[in-house]
Structure 1
């Protein structure tokens, strides 16, 4: 690890060590029951013992989240391009995309089970619904942010609608698009977990949401914490992959990615 990376990583690592130390000391000094708030050492121990189960559950949840995230990325861009094609279309349809942001996914999750059956499909759809709106909203903002003189120049040279979209609007929208994808990457994991709370599992596969529910019902709070940390790690992996992809694509020409 080079020095700049080490300097960047050292402060959060030190803060993490201090936080875990304070947590461990507080739980032991106050004699807090393990089933109420387990110490970090107990969470780490159960994480090591149940590593296989946690990894399998994370893979199951990760597959559903990845499907939902992929669908939201593709359809989100297509919807944003459609909305950007006309102010009238945007005014007519954009308010309905807000439904995706405001609807409580827990409330409609039972409907997803009825429509798609219990298991991965309902979980993936839940992930898709939760992660779609940020992609639409940020991509649309990017498409609308093109400077008018550049549009005028494209018109002056006789560029058609598709050429303007492909060579001007989409490149200008890329930073906004990746911002939406970063937000959607974390939300896709949240949507998958919530979907698992209701949709359950099939074909012998259980995700992190099922593991959280099982640990809660058994009062295995240490395992519950470990499952939550695994879900957070899954979200961080997906977020990191999107961030790295965006940085590599944008670093040569956009200031937002300079120095990454």
Structure 2
């Protein structure tokens, strides 16, 4: 039976079949292509080590790294847990504090004029430079690490949320004023929903920065012992020339960063997919 009906038009089912197949194929390619690239890089790495007989204390093979990851998991897993606790605690505080302060900055021009310059100074100052001072005044090393990670993760949330609150459509603001909406109604029903895409963009940035800051702060603090994180295990492996464990710890950090970015991107997609232009697929 021909796909053309009596009027010569293509039925809707046949018209929608091609885009559906194309969309499905695109999703498969998004998974397959990075995996193929990863397999090629690992294969090239293994070939290079074997072909040129590279010593393991210079460049271990992928098999040695995997073996170290399994054998040293009790040590690396505990260190990863410490780093994750600092990362997620700092991120949670940064999200709450960033949103609250952004609302205050937008609601009051005087608060914005008083606080904004110091927020910028705090952000542009390298965390390695102020970490020693934080270590002096913090009650413990863990608190110092948490403060360092929070400082780095805080500004992207504050900056993006503030920009989102300021980017509310002026016509909608005038409409709310015309209908006599209170400042709280305007904030919760208009400004915060409008700022949601900006906040989620800040969340994606802050998630990765919190992990980076936790590692950098631990490098600066030089913390050691049973309660130390992955940063110390990296340094320890370097000092002992245990390069396979160093690569395994680095692999864990990379995988954690990718997982955090993937989780925050998924949250953003789920919250925006039904209404925001950034998450809706174009129809043409």
TM-score (norm 2): 0.84
What's the secondary structure of 1:257's corresponding residue?
Answer: coil
Instruction: Give the deviation of 1:94 after TM superposition.
Output: 1.7
Distance 1:122 1:226 in 2: 26
Larger deviation, residues 9-18 vs 158-167: 158-167
Instruction: List alignment gaps of at least 5 residues for structure 1.
Output: none
1:222 maps to which residue?
A: 244
CA contact under 8 A between 2:45 and 2:61: conserved in structure 1? yes
Equivalent position SS for 1:237: helix
The question of whether the paired residues in 2 share the 8 Å contact of 1:120 and 1:202 is answered with: no
Helix, strand or coil: the match of 1:255?
Answer: coil
Q: Deviation of residue 40 (structure 1)?
A: 2.0
Please state if 1:83 is matched with 2:121.
Answer: no
Contact 1:216 1:224 in 2 (8 A): yes
Q: Is 2:48 the partner of 1:8?
A: no
Q: Larger Cα Rg: Structure 1 or Structure 2?
A: 2
Out of 167, 179, 183, the position equivalent to 1:157 is: 179
Deviation at 1:190, TM superposition (A): 0.8
Q: 1:102 aligns with which of 100, 124, 130?
A: 124
Equivalents in 2 of 1:178, 1:88: separation in Å?
27
- Larger RCO: Structure 1 or Structure 2 (Cα < 8 Å, ≥ 6 residues apart)? 1
Is contact 1:119-1:200 (8 Å) kept?
no
Contact 1:146 1:172 in 2 (8 A): yes
Aligned length: 258
SS in 1 for 2:144: helix
Q: Find the counterpart in structure 1 of residue 134 from structure 2.
A: 112
Query: Could you list the runs of 4 or more consecutive aligned residues of structure 1 that deviate by over 4 angstroms after TM superposition?
Result: 2-5, 200-203
User: Which secondary structure state, in structure 2, belongs to the residue aligned with residue 73 of structure 1?
Assistant: helix
8 Å CA contact 2:224–2:232 kept in 1: the answer is: no
Q: TM-score, normalised by structure 1?
A: 0.91
CA-atom RMSD, angstroms?
Answer: 2.0
Q: Which runs of 5+ in 2 are unaligned?
A: 1-23
Distance 2:47 2:140 in 1: 43
CA contact (8 A) 1:100 1:132 kept: no
Distance apart, 1:203 and its partner CA: 8.1
Deviation at 1:87? 4.0
1:188 and 2:206 are equivalent in the alignment: no
Describe how 1:62-81 pairs up with structure 2 within 5 A: 62-81=84-103
Q: How far, CA to CA, are the matches of 1:162 and 1:135 in structure 2?
A: 21
Matches within 5 A, 1:132-171: 132-171=154-193
